[in-house]
Amino acid sequence: MENQDVFDKVVEILKPFAKNEEALGNISLETSLQKDLEVNSARLVDIVLEIEDSFDIEVSDDDADGVNTVGDAVKLIVAATS
């Protein structure tokens, strides 16, 4: 799966969880899930579950803890689906 395809799908997953609409409109690989999108830690768990379901992968707790930016999520997914 191409990085751009993964990125686009991750953005779609994040939309319902992001509190900061402005940051969502300017989303990039460097966008912080918690600082920029204002996603709380409980919602991060939901995002990881959505990622697992959408990409048919399993994310370990350690890997989930390393997802701080959109780029982290994309890298994790690309590595798991390659």
- Which tens digit of pLDDT belongs to each residue from 15-60? 999 999 899 999 999 999 999 999 998 999 999 999 999 999 999 9
How far apart CA 22 and CA 7 sit, in angstroms, is: 18
Q: Is 90 exceeded by the pLDDT of residue 82?
A: no
Average pLDDT rounded to a whole number, residues 53-71:
96
- Domain 3-81: CATH superfamily is ACP-like (1.10.1200.10)
CA 14/CA 5 separation, integer angstroms = 14
Distances (CA, A) of 16 to 20, 25, 49, 63, 82: 11, 13, 14, 22, 27
Sorted by where each begins, the domain ranges of the chain are 3-81
- The pLDDT score that the predictor gives to residue 22 is 92
pLDDT surpasses 80 at 79: yes
What 8-state DSSP symbol labels residue 52?
H
